[in-house]
């Protein structure tokens, strides 16, 4: 029989056959053993798929195929996150319409994805920039709007002057635009927000029960940032306004010797005395240039300006000078703090710099230490009148009760999580389905009018003048009539953050063929996603937004589950010479040349062999020839099949052990170790002349998830009467063959080890004792003494007692 297999040819052949037989569309009506296996979809950029993408899709498909052979009804969809800034920037630079460049990139990427030969169900493909998809993203917006979870608010937003757009906090990296690195400034704009903060508590509480990497759960916890403390309203000398603060340490109230407002705080203008105004204004404009991260760095020299005004400490009546400083952030709590320099590092530094009073109010044992440092732990109160001698914990409660009875505050829980700013002043995104009417305000577009189509008559430019939003430059788009009163009105000119598109796409996949509704109840039974795989960089934004949207839709009555992704895994990062492979670093490696040379199976197996899946590794192509040799060796081994042959016991044992351990490994997505076990087996089989049918059959089955095309080819060649290799059951191991039936037994004399014997499992007691006693190092003791007791713990130990 011909030994050579042309990998490239058979891959094409099997991909075609799988497509023709619809092999990768699950039976949606059969929910038993449903397995929804999702890898994060990709952005269709002009750079196509690189090795890093492959590393996500190839190994996960191996896992999905393994599940299928173990009886799962697998759904593994694929699609494109196709709205977003890069296509638009490309349009501005090269004059190619985003719709056109995106379409081109998608078809190229689809081709590349198809060459993986994964079990992608292309009949449920989606692209977020298709009307058939974004129509439902608009529908989602309307549901949030109707339920009070989408609202507009004027807010200081991050502004990138180069991209001419507002950026989300997450898109600002160390004060600079994530995309173009321009320094970010602040600007006031009316923006749309989603009220994710309504779900802060649940988003936090449900984390524990998720089968997610603990590091990711931890990051979400910090991002949500729950703090328990108190809210206190301070009155102001000669002024009717009140300053509200959030503090985690109400027990330190007697140590609050001054106040600090964020420079952006609305009271700053009202409170500042005329002689301080100039300084204050200068400081405010300095602050606007700084990012929150710079501002909250603890090691930076404190700066600030006195307003000339005073607040009153409600507990001791003392006057507290009111300052502004950039270390207080407008976005957290109420944007103001009661400063306790003896208990808070930042306040301590600030007080020292500006010579403000410091009162010690907590110490380890309640005695004054008069030390020149700050004590931020819990302890016992001092210099605090009725709180003296109380633990911090007890004092907190007393202060909160008092605040409540004085009607100036009480206990309060604060979250670091902000509402999600979703409007973007960009073109290539989902238009916001709202119409602004002078009389009726913000009116939702009736659902029957969806989709609100993205206009095509836009002149792409790096700035759009005062309009800010590209959509505002299209007269036909922007001018409409109010659905309420029929008067002329204007459409919302903004588009949605692309994270809105990806916040619900997992719901759409099993429904992608259905036009009349975003999702159908029977198809929703395919949710939640059983396994979700993607990069760790999505730990906070995407993964938090998706959880929020699931919970919101559940509360609107559309879903009956709480969490979208049952199990989450982050694939490791593929680096090139130590840096993450990415377009911006210019160090991407295309998989295409390797696939052209070795074929997709070899490439996939090589990627999986590089290292543990969740750790990734540094790309180099040196080892790929080794994998190629290994696969060719398997082809030769299969050729040695002899159906009359019955297999040698030692080969049987090795085979069954291999079946067991590859099953264990693949179950845990340990692809690299699974492959090395296959290599060990093939090394042994290479040395054998004739190999029995069961061994060959098992070998092909074990290989199937790892190199799907090759295995399908070998299967069809040696077992031509049966269906696809992926319709076969995963091989079962015989546990009696796995246990080694020869074991070493320790032989003791009076409790001391004197020797070892090799016995067959469950050898009768008398023979074991006989063998033990005949050991030279044992018999000499028996001869020199009196054997009084013989103890045998079956299959474990012999102990002889001699007097
Ligand atoms: C008085 C105090 C005394 C504080 C003390 C701490 C220690 P977390 O734990 O992160 O919630 N704070 C409140 N709002 C702030 C803002 N907008 N910008 C900067 N700092 C702010 O931190 C809560 C603590 O951070 C609050 O408790 C407040 O300082 C400060 F011994 O109040 B504390
Ligand atoms: Zn109207």
Summarised one tens digit per residue, pLDDT across range 768-790 is 999 999 999 999 999 888 999 99
Give yes or no for residue 762 having a pLDDT over 90.
no
In short, whether 351's Cβ falls inside 6 Å of ligand 1 is no
Q: Which residue, judged by its Cα, is nearest atom 31 of ligand 1?
A: 343
Can you tell me the distance from the alpha carbon of 128 to that of 501, in angstroms, rounded to the nearest whole number? 6
CA distances from 713 to 59, 580, 625, 634, 726 (A): 20, 36, 21, 12, 12
User: Is residue 578 pLDDT above 80, yes or no?
Assistant: yes
Closest Cα to atom 29, ligand 1: which residue? 247
**What is the value of pTM for the model shown?**
0.86
What mean pLDDT is predicted for residues 551-567? 98
CA–CA dist 707, 627 (Å, integer): 11
pLDDT for 215: 96
Half-sphere exposure of residue 661, counting CA atoms within 13 Å on the CB side?
Answer: 18
Query: What is the enclosing helix (H) or strand (E) of 269?
Result: helix 267-271
Across the range 36-55, mean pLDDT stands at 88
CA distance to 251, 360, 392, per residue, from 364 (Å): 14, 11, 10
- Is residue 121's pLDDT more than 70? yes
Ligand 1 centroid to Cα of residue 280, in Å, is 23
Ligand 1 pocket test: pick from 156, 337, 384 the residue with the most ligand atoms within 8 Å of its Cβ: 337
pLDDT at 1: 45
Q: H/E element holding 172?
A: strand 172-173
Q: How far is the CA of 337 from the centre of ligand 1 (A)?
A: 6
- For residue 88, pLDDT beyond 90: no
Q: Which DSSP letter does residue 285 get? A: H
Cβ neighbours around 557 below 10 Å, total:
8
Between 592 and 485, the more confident residue is 485
Strands (E), 237-324: 239-247, 258-261, 305-312, 319-324
Going from the Cα of 500 to the center of ligand 2, the distance in angstroms, rounded, reads 27
For a pocket test of ligand 1, which of 200, 229, 248, 313 has the largest count of ligand atoms closer than 8 A to its C-beta? 248
Q: How confident is the model at residue 462 (pLDDT cuts 50, 70, 90)?
A: low
**Does 673 or 297 have the greater pLDDT score?**
673
DSSP SS3 for 780: helix
Contacts of 22 (CB under 8 A, 6+ apart): 123
Backbone torsion region of residue 458, taken as left when φ is above 0, otherwise alpha when ψ lies between -120 and 50, otherwise beta: beta
What is the mean pLDDT of the segment spanning 475-489?
97
> Is residue 257 within 8 Å of residue 356, measured between CB atoms?
yes
Ligand found nearest the CA of 482: 2
- Average pLDDT (698-725) is 96
């Amino acid at each position: 029989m011909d030994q050579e297999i042309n990998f490239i040819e058979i891959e094409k052949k099997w991909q075609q056959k799988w497509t023709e037989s619809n092999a990768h569309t699950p039976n949606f009506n059969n929910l038993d053993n449903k397995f929804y296996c999702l890898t994060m979809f990709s952005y269709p950029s002009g750079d196509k798929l690189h090795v890093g993408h492959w590393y996500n899709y190839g190994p996960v498909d191996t896992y999905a195929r393994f599940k299928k052979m173990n009886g799962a009804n697998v759904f593994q969809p694929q699609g494109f996150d196709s709205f977003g800034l890069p296509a638009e920037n490309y349009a501005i630079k090269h004059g190619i319409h985003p719709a056109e460049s995106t379409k081109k990139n998608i078809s190229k990427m689809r081709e590349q994805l198809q060459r993986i030969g994964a079990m992608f169900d292309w009949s449920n493909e989606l692209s977020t920039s298709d009307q058939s998809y974004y129509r439902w993203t608009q529908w989602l917006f309307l549901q949030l709007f109707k339920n009070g979870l989408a609202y507009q608010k004027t807010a200081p937003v991050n502004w990138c002057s180069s991209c001419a757009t507002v950026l989300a906090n997450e898109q600002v990296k160390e004060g600079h635009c994530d995309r173009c690195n321009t320094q970010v400034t602040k600007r006031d704009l009316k923006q749309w927000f989603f009220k994710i903060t309504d779900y802060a508590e649940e988003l936090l509480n449900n984390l524990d029960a998720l089968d997610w990497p603990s590091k990711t759960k931890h990051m979400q916890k910090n991002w949500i940032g729950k703090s328990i403390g108190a809210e206190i309203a301070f009155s102001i000398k000669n002024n009717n306004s009140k300053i509200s603060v959030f503090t985690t340490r109400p027990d330190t109230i007697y140590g609050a010797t001054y106040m600090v407002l964020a420079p952006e705080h609305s009271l700053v203008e009202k409170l500042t005395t005329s002689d301080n105004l100039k300084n204050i204004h200068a400081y405010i404009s300095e602050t606007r240039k700084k990012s929150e991260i710079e501002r909250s760095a603890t090691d930076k020299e404190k700066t600030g300006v006195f307003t000339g005004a005073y607040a009153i400490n409600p507990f001791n009546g003392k006057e507290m000078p009111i300052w502004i400083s950039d270390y207080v952030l407008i976005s957290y709590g109420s944007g103001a703090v009661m400063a306790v320099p003896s208990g808070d590092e930042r306040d301590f530094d600030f007080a020292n710099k500006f010579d403000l009073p410091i009162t010690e109010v907590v110490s380890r044992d309640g005695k004054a230490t008069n030390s020149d440092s700050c004590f931020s732990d819990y302890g016992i109160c001092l210099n605090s009148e009725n709180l003296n001698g109380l633990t911090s914990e007890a004092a907190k409660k007393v202060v909160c009760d008092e605040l409540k009875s004085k009607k100036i505050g009480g206990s309060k829980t604060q979250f670091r999580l902000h509402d999600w700013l979703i409007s973007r002043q960009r073109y290539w995104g989902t238009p916001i389905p709202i119409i602004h009417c002078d009389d009726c305000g913000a009116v939702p577009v009736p659902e029957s009018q969806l989709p609100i189509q993205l206009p095509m008559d836009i002149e792409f430019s790096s700035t759009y003048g005062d309009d800010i939003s590209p959509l505002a430059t299209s007269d036909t788009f922007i001018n409409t009539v109010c659905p309420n009163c029929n008067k002329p009105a204007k459409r919302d000119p903004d588009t949605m953050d692309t994270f809105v598109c990806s916040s619900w796409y997992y719901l759409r996949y099993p429904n992608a063929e259905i036009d009349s509704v975003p999702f159908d109840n029977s198809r929703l039974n395919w949710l939640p996603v059983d396994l979700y795989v993607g990069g760790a960089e999505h730990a906070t934004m995407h993964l938090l937004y998706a959880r929020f949207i699931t919970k919101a839709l559940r509360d609107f009555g559309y879903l009956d589950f709480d969490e979208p992704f049952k199990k989450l895994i982050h694939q490791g990062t593929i680096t090139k010479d130590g840096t993450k492979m990415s377009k911006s670093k210019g160090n991407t490696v295309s998989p295409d040349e390797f696939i052209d040379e070795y074929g997709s199976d070899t490439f996939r197996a090589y990627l999986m062999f590089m290292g543990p899946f969740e750790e990734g590794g540094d790309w180099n192509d040196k080892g790929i020839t080794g994998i190629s040799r290994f696969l060719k060796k398997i082809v030769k081994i299969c050729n040695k099949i002899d159906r009359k042959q019955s297999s040698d016991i030692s080969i049987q044992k090795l085979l069954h052990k291999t079946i067991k351990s590859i099953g264990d490994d693949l179950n845990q997505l340990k692809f690299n170790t699974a492959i090395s076990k296959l290599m060990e087996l093939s090394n042994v089989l290479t040395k054998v002349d004739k190999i029995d049918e069961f061994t060959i059959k098992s070998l092909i089955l074990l290989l199937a998830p790892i190199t799907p095309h090759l295995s399908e080819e070998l299967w069809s060649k040696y077992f031509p009467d049966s269906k696809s290799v992926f319709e076969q059951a995963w091989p079962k191991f015989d546990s009696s063959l796995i246990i080694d039936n020869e074991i070493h037994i320790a032989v003791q004399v009076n409790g001391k080890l004197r020797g070892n014997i090799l016995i067959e499992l469950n050898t009768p007691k008398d023979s074991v004792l006989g063998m033990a006693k005949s050991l030279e190092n044992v018999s000499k003791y028996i001869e020199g003494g009196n054997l009084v007791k013989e103890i045998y713990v079956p299959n474990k130990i012999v102990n002889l007692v001699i007097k």
